[in-house]
């Protein structure tokens, strides 16, 4: 049977920009290939019947890299922890190809761990299996939580021994293919500014607008409009991370997509509890990219992007665009938190106090962030409309004493107050909304670590697949039932 991946209609979109933007490379050859994860949902999104795609097809295309288009290592620089680094670029990946989804939008297949390139510096060009697994889990969980994210199309174990300072070594290797809107990064523009090439900035800008902001293509102000929309997309994304309790960990400008989509999941974590200073990367000593800093860091990255863009866009327009960030972030975050609490909308300005109280309740008590919303979802019932003391009192909430108890009571009373305004139908809808916005299973770091143990000890992959089912279904029980039936 012919390999469907080799018969997709690949569009040489980035390729037509020319060699100023990439280097043609070839993939490494690996000792063996074992498909560990395939994402059939993406096949459907591409209009490919998953039944027609065998595991060997995945291995041929995304492990042995049989292909119809050249492999392109994309060039970029970036600000890393505030320092400009001109020695970046795809050092362990390349653009395999670009295809349209059934929605008409263009997507990248980008590799990670496929071998060395001119940008590998002294590194091996490889990805650890554990790193690949962690990225699969992050992308699938964020997707379930409604965050605009890249996905993982495949993860293939490749049989090499890798040495890493942050994993017991030797450790196992893998190659991953990422499915994302684009791998053009803020750093792709920054590199062109570094070389003083306004012409290349302009070409790239036209390309980005054509493929990712096509609604502005014929507008006289298309550059300014593009930047203003990017600002809003990034602000929306950060609000989604914050509501999802997600800390990306490495918000360097080479990890910021020009489409406003989230990607590159290295040392990320879902926050265990609401701690604004929670820092995901062990090497982020100052906590620069901690949970609460994410909005202003991303706004700062957008501001940095003005440097290359101002080679072709009026700086006044860029300033006006950036001004949209704060309100877009606040508005989206507010709405998402209102939804996480189960409501469609809450009246303003009076409900602001309630939202603040919710965050403070989470901050000042030893409540798990995800656990709290999960308890709210599981316990939600009609009786809460009658008796405020029942609210969120299901098993699992720690005993509150002293000022903490009165804090909880104030919160319950306000929640109760808003519940009383709802009709029986609205109460039903509220239950559904709680379930939609609060998956009862969000993998914390320890849970991700726990699936790695059986893999290294006895090559047991069941916990990994079960965890992915849990993430998809949103509940542990449902996932376990589904796997055993
Ligand atoms: N093992 C490696 N071999 C070669 N280059 C590497 C390796 N690990 C990281 N790099 C390079 O270091 C830089 C920063 O890495 P970072 O972890 O942000 O990106 P990445 O995870 O490799 O790729 P992506 O951003 O596409 O997810 C990139 O230029 C990357 O290609
Ligand atoms: Mg990166």
Query: What ipTM score was computed for the predicted complex, to two decimals?
Result: 0.98
Which of 398, 421, 437 is the last residue in one of the domains? Answer: 437
Based on the domain organization, do 430 and 467 belong to the same domain?
Answer: no
CA–CA separation, 358 vs 272, rounded Å?
16
Residues 6+ away with beta carbon under 8 Å from 390:
381, 383, 384
Which of 121, 152, 186 is the last residue in one of the domains? Answer: 186
Residue 363 alpha carbon to ligand 1 centre in Å:
34
Residues 6+ away with beta carbon under 8 Å from 258:
182, 184, 185, 186, 188, 189, 208, 212, 230
Residue 89 alpha carbon to ligand 2 centre in Å:
9
Based on the domain organization, do 426 and 449 belong to the same domain?
Answer: no
Based on the domain organization, do 19 and 120 belong to the same domain?
Answer: yes
Is 300 among the domain residues?
A: no
Residue 151 main-chain phi, psi, to 5 deg: -125, 175
The reported pLDDT for the residue numbered 483 is 41
CB atoms within 10 A of CB 404: 15
Find out whether 299 is annotated in a ligand binding site: no
| Ligand positioned closest to the Cα atom of 267 | 1
Q: 324-340 vs 424-437: helix axis angle to the nearest 10? A: 110
User: H helices of 323-460, where?
Assistant: 324-340, 351-363, 369-379, 402-419, 424-437, 445-458
Residues 6+ away with beta carbon under 8 Å from 166:
282
Based on the domain organization, do 348 and 462 belong to the same domain?
Answer: no
* The residue to which tokens 């106090």 are assigned: 353
Based on the domain organization, do 130 and 166 belong to the same domain?
Answer: yes
Which sequence positions are flagged as catalytic? 254
Is 424 among the domain residues?
A: yes
The tally of domains found in the chain comes to 3
Ranges assigned E (strand) in 26-105: 34-38, 71-74, 78-80, 83-85, 95-100
Q: Measuring from each residue's beta carbon to the nearest atom of ligand 1, which residues come in under 6 Å?
A: 88-93, 112, 119-120, 123-126, 250, 254-255, 264, 266
Is 306 among the domain residues?
A: no
Based on the domain organization, do 391 and 472 belong to the same domain?
Answer: no
| Ligand positioned closest to the Cα atom of 110 | 1
Nearest CA to ligand 1 atom 13: 88
SS3 66: coil
Say if pTM beats, i.e. exceeds, 0.90.
yes
Is 218 among the domain residues?
A: no
Based on the domain organization, do 459 and 359 belong to the same domain?
Answer: no
The reported pLDDT for the residue numbered 478 is 47
- For residue 255, the ligand 1 atom closest to its alpha carbon is 25
User: H helices of 222-293, where?
Assistant: 222-244
Of 87, 91, 153, best ligand 1 pocket probe by most atoms within 8 Å of the beta carbon: 91
Alpha-carbon distances of 365 from 144, 171, 287, 467, rounded to whole Å: 27, 39, 22, 28
Based on the domain organization, do 361 and 455 belong to the same domain?
Answer: no
User: H helices of 70-124, where?
Assistant: none
Instruction: List, run by run, the mean pLDDT of 10-residue segments along the chain (485 residues).
Output: 95 98 98 98 97 98 95 98 97 98 98 98 97 98 96 98 95 98 98 98 98 97 98 98 98 98 98 96 97 98 98 97 98 97 94 92 86 92 91 74 82 94 94 93 95 96 96 62 41
The reported pLDDT for the residue numbered 178 is 98
| Ligand positioned closest to the Cα atom of 152 | 1
The reported pLDDT for the residue numbered 396 is 63
Based on the domain organization, do 141 and 27 belong to the same domain?
Answer: yes
Based on the domain organization, do 374 and 433 belong to the same domain?
Answer: yes
Cβ contact 74:21 at 8 Å: yes
* The residue to which tokens 């108890």 are assigned: 405
Is 144 among the domain residues?
A: yes
Nearest Cα residue to 273 out of 357, 146, 359: 359
The reported pLDDT for the residue numbered 475 is 54
Is 223 among the domain residues?
A: no
Which of 165, 186, 207 is the last residue in one of the domains? Answer: 186
The reported pLDDT for the residue numbered 399 is 74
Burial of 365 (0-12, 13-18, 19+ CB in 10 A): middle
Is 229 among the domain residues?
A: no
Nearest CA to ligand 1 atom 19: 264
| Residue 27 domain boundaries | 4-186
Based on the domain organization, do 430 and 456 belong to the same domain?
Answer: no
The reported pLDDT for the residue numbered 270 is 98
Residue 90 alpha carbon to ligand 1 centre in Å:
7
Is 255 among the domain residues?
A: no
Task: List the structure tokens of 88.
Answer: 């970046």
Residue 91 alpha carbon to ligand 1 centre in Å:
6
Based on the domain organization, do 421 and 453 belong to the same domain?
Answer: no
- For residue 87, the ligand 1 atom closest to its alpha carbon is 29
């Amino acid at each position: 049977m012919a390999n469907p991946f080799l018969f997709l209609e690949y569009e040489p979109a980035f390729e037509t920009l020319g060699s100023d933007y990439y280097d043609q490379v070839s993939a490494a050859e690996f000792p063996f290939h074992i498909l560990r994860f395939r994402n059939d949902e993406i096949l459907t999104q591409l209009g490919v019947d998953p039944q027609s795609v065998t595991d060997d097809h995945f291995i041929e295309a995304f492990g042995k890299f049989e292909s119809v288009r050249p492999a392109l290592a994309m060039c970029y620089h970036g600000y890393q922890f505030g320092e400009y680094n001109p020695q970046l670029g795809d050092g362990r990946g390349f653009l395999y190809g670009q295809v349209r989804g059934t929605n008409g939008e263009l997507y990248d297949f980008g590799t990670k761990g496929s071998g060395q390139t001119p940008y590998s510096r002294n590194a091996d060009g490889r990805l650890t299996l554990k790193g690949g697994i962690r990225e699969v889990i992050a992308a699938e969980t964020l997707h379930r939580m409604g965050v605009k994210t890249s996905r993982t199309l495949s993860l293939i174990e490749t049989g090499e021994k890798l040495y890493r300072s942050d994993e017991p070594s030797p450790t196992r290797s893998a190659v991953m293919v990422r499915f994302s809107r684009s791998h053009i990064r803020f750093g792709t523009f920054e590199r062109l500014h570094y070389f003083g090439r306004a012409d290349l900035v302009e070409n790239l800008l036209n390309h980005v607008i054509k493929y990712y902001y096509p609604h502005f293509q014929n507008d006289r102000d298309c550059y300014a409009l593009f930047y203003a929309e990017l600002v809003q997309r990034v602000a929306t994304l950060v609000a989604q991370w914050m509501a999802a309790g997600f800390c990306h960990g490495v918000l360097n400008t080479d990890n910021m997509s020009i489409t406003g989509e989230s990607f590159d999941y290295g040392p990320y974590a879902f926050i265990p509890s609401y701690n604004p200073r929670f820092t995901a990367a062990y090497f982020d000593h100052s906590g620069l990219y901690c949970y609460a800093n994410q909005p202003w860091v991303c706004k700062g990255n957008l501001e940095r992007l003005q440097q290359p863009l101002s080679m072709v866009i009026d700086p006044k327009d860029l300033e006006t665009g950036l001004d949209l960030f704060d309100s877009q972030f606040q508005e989206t975050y507010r709405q998402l938190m209102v939804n996480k609490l189960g409501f469609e909308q809450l009246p303003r300005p009076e409900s602001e106090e309630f939202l603040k109280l919710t965050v403070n309740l989470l901050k000042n008590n030893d409540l798990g962030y995800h656990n709290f919303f999960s308890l709210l979802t599981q316990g939600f019932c009609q009786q809460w409309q009658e008796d405020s003391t029942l609210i969120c009192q299901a098993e699992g909430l720690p005993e509150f004493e002293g000022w903490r108890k009165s804090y909880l009571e104030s919160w319950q009373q306000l929640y109760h107050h808003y519940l009383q305004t709802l009709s029986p139908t609205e109460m039903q809808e509220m239950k559904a909304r709680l379930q939609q916005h609060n998956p009862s299973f969000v993998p914390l770091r320890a849970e991700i670590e726990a699936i790695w143990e059986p893999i290294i000890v006895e090559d047991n992959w069941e916990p990994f697949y079960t965890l992915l089912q849990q993430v998809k279904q949103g509940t542990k029980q449902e996932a376990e039932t589904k796997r055993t039936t």
